[in-house]
Structure 1
Amino acid sequence: MTRTQSLDTPPAWEQATAGIRPLHGMLGSSPAFQRMTDAIRLLARSDAPALVDGETGSGKELAARAVHYLGERRARPFVPVNCGAIPETLFESELFGHARGAFTDARGARVGLVTHADGGTLFLDEIDTLPAKGQVALLRFLQDRRYRPLGQSSELVSDARIIAASNRSLEREVEQGRFRSDLLYRLNILHLRVPPLRERREDILLLARHFAATYAARYGLCGHRIGAGLGDWLQHHPWPGNVRELENTVHRLVLQCDGDVLHDPQLPACPVDEARARAFKRAKAEAIASFERRYLDQVMAETGGNVSAAARLAQTDRRALGRLLKKHGLDCGRYRAG
């Protein structure tokens, strides 16, 4: 309990998410979120390999964890690994392990990730970064779940479920020759799409309040409300970094806040707001031009095309009126009687 929380007050995150039950760390109530959670529950009923796709920061690992912990493998390990962080020369050793002396630096035997994940789930993030040799090794394992640690003659078997994730289109990677089509078919038996935050706009303030309460509790601060101006900005920001970007933004705002209302006058202009401003400016210019043309047409008609008389009637300079006539392409001759 933080120093600002009384004994009869619910925790801050419970107040921020009242009525909303998180799904293994995932929070939302939007239609897009509900469709995703329905798909997660469906994937959790099976042991087949699955492919998760979604933009950076959208929550692919959280979705994979939810699949694991909602399924029958929940009591066994969930082992995440970022394929992009493993050097090409070490991938097979990391995945399948090695015997002592298998290569120069192998001073002792090492158990691979598929062994650690036996009976559980091995989550391969950024699968699109897997080098060609690693793709072949993974494909071979997916075929019969058999593998051979480097430097060892006997084969082993692992009952690890494979869930892979990518923020790129693997179909496009296959077309461009960077990813094996047969591996894609093996991985993509079941598919889950994690929607970007811009498709979950109904969840933005819910998530922002949750993050604000979480970080306020972490630092022993009072609970924070989202100011009206900030709330409007949050809902219209495009969030290219998705939920991760939103969380980091709210984290910073909590640390910078000197009251109980979160606001930030230094937030960058929202592209949606800029578009609205441009549209308003354009509409205003069109309205002014339409008024000018109608008014010029009226005074020129009343004076029979006499520019000097029209300028006096309009109470403006003759040269200024002439510039307006030229701007709108009005010919004085059309107003003179034949």
Structure 2
Amino acid sequence: MAGAERPPSDPALLRERIRDRALALGFDAVGFAPAALGPEAREKLAAFLAAGRHGDMGWMAERSDQRSHPRDLWDEARTIIALGTSYAPHADPRGLLEHPDRGIVSVYARNRDYHDLIKGRLKTLGHWLHHQTKAGVKVFVDTAPVMEKPLAERAGLGWQGKHTNLVSRDHGSWLFLGEIYTTLDLPADEPGRDRCGSCTACQTACPTNAFPAPYQLDARRCISYLTIENKGPIPDDLKPLIGNHIYGCDDCLAACPWNKFARATREPAFLPRAELTAPRLADLAQLDDPGFRQVFSGSPVKRIGRDRFVRNVLVALGNSGDRRLRPAAEALIDDPGDVVRDSARWAMERLTR
């Protein structure tokens, strides 16, 4: 059996066997990097935090040392295996911007929570690697203090574009990332090389001007932050700029010209559920807590709760310019949720003009 084969003694051959195994498990990109980050990544993180651009995401600062120094997270790690899985959509998600009565849910959240699938595959690969080599392994996907994008860049999966997300020559801006830290000392891949050139498509695509400069993000102005991480009311000056985004935003990702090389995902878990492809705002505004939990069972949307989600829907209603949607906002004027009432009143004012 393959599982009983002895691992090759040559680290380069072992690396290629790991790569082959990862691809067979469904990963689309695999790279290897030393368990360390250079000073540039640490300096960028420090500057981001010092400027307060992380907003209310205090967890980013609390364990910043472990983010900056992978071995502070696990001192036995010698190599990081960076893995990417494509979730490229079949159509440009910006197409829904032309339908203001519909809500836009970020591509990654239109079906099951990707963490479950990716972590399962990481564990399978990690168990196989440990069985083959007896090496120590730890797997991470998004929830640990890991600087995934700089590590993926260092492992050759791509480069951090001007929108600060990873860009791949093969998969565009559509890669879910995960990592395996291992005690194995494996040869590193060539780091990714910046290929953005003079392009500014992602910068100009941002509705809220969340990029103070290329390669810099102010999360406090980012629609993904405002609709997901932000627990309170959305600032009034930013509400009109959010349009009909109700959970996250893909505008800067979708604008990247490198997406022309990405093939639409065939992974069933990443294909959009019909009810989240172009949901009607008026229908979503009627969701109570049990209804919200039922509709978004197993979805990453569920984690923000009904009140914050309906808050987002009401902002989109207010931006629709469609007075026929006014009753949907009026019905929530006295909602028990503070953020819901705030957004309902704002939407009412916008739809009464």
Give your verdict on TM over 0.5.
no
- The higher radius of gyration belongs to 1
Q: TM-score, normalised by structure 2?
A: 0.24
Q: TM-score, normalised by structure 1?
A: 0.25
